[in-house]
A and B are shown apart, each in its own frame.
Chain A
Amino acid sequence: MATTESDLGAARRRPLAGAALQPRRSHPGPRNLGRVNWRGLWTLYLREVKRFLNVFTQTILAPMVTSLLFLAIFTLALGRGNIKFGDVPYAVFLAPGLIMMQIIQQAFANTSSSILISKVQGNIVDVLMPPLSHFELALGFAAGGVTRGLSVALAAGIAMAIFLPIGIHDPLAVVWFAVNASLMLALLGMIGGIWAEKFDHIAAITNFVIMPLSFLSGTFYSIKRLPDGWNLVAHLDPFFYLIDGFRYGFLGHHDGNLAVGAVAVAGLNVALWLVVQRMFATGYKLKP
Chain B
Amino acid sequence: MPGPLPAAATAPATAPATAGGFAAPRRFGRVNWRGLWTLYQRAFLRYLKFAVEGIVGPMISAALFLAVFVLALPQGRSSLGGVEPLVFLVPGIGAYQGFHAAFENAAFPIVYDKLEGMMSDVLMAPLRPWEVVIAYVGAAALAGMTTGAVILGLISLIVPLPLADLGTVLVFAALGSLLFALVGFLTGLWAEKWDRYALVETFLVMPLGILSGTFFTLDAVPAAGREAMLLNPVFYGIDGLRAGFIGSAQASPGTGAALLAGLCLVLFLVAWRLFASGYKVRA
A203-B52 Cα distance, complex, nearest whole Å: 12
The answer to whether A58 and B60 have CB atoms under 8 Å apart is: no
Q: How many interface residues does B have (CB within 8 Å)?
A: 29
- Cβ–Cβ contact A207 & B60, under 8 A: yes
CA distance A203 to B55 in the complex (A): 13
Asked whether B202 lies within 8 Å of A77 as measured between CB atoms, the reply is: no
**Contact flags A70-103 to B (C-beta < 8 A → 1, else 0):** 0011101110110100000000000000000000
* B207 with A65: CB separation less than 8 A: yes
Q: Once the chains bind, are B69 and A77 in contact (CB under 8 Å)?
A: yes
Residues in B whose Cβ lies below 8 Å from that of A219: 68
A residues less than 8 Å from B130 (CB atoms): none
9 other A-B residue contacts (CB within 8 Å) besides A73-B216, A76-B215: A58-B195, A69-B211, A73-B210, A78-B69, A78-B72, A83-B74, A215-B67, A216-B68, A219-B68
| A43 interface residue (CB < 8 Å to B) | no
28 intermolecular pairs with C-beta atoms under 8 Å apart: A58-B199, A58-B202, A65-B207, A69-B207, A69-B210, A69-B211, A73-B214, A73-B215, A73-B216, A76-B216, A76-B220, A77-B80, A77-B215, A78-B69, A78-B74, A81-B74, A203-B53, A207-B56, A207-B60, A211-B64, A212-B60, A212-B64, A215-B67, A215-B68, A220-B71, A220-B72, A225-B71, A226-B71
Closest to B71 in A: A221
On chain A, the residues within 8 Å of B22 by CB distance are none
Q: Does B5 belong to the interface (CB within 8 Å)? A: no
Instruction: State whether A211 touches B220 (Cβ < 8 A).
Output: no
B128 shortest CB reach to chain A, Å: 36
- B220 to A80, Cβ gap below 8 A? yes
Chain A count of residues within 8 A CB distance of the other chain = 30
Chain A residue at minimal CB-CB distance from B214: A73
User: Considering the chains assembled together, what is the distance between the CA atoms of A208 and B61 in angstroms?
Assistant: 10
In the bound complex, CA of A81 to CA of B220 (Å):
10
Across-interface contacts of B64 in A (CB, < 8 A): 211-212, 215-216
* Max count, chain A CB within 10 A of own CB: residue among B57, B61, B69, B72: B72
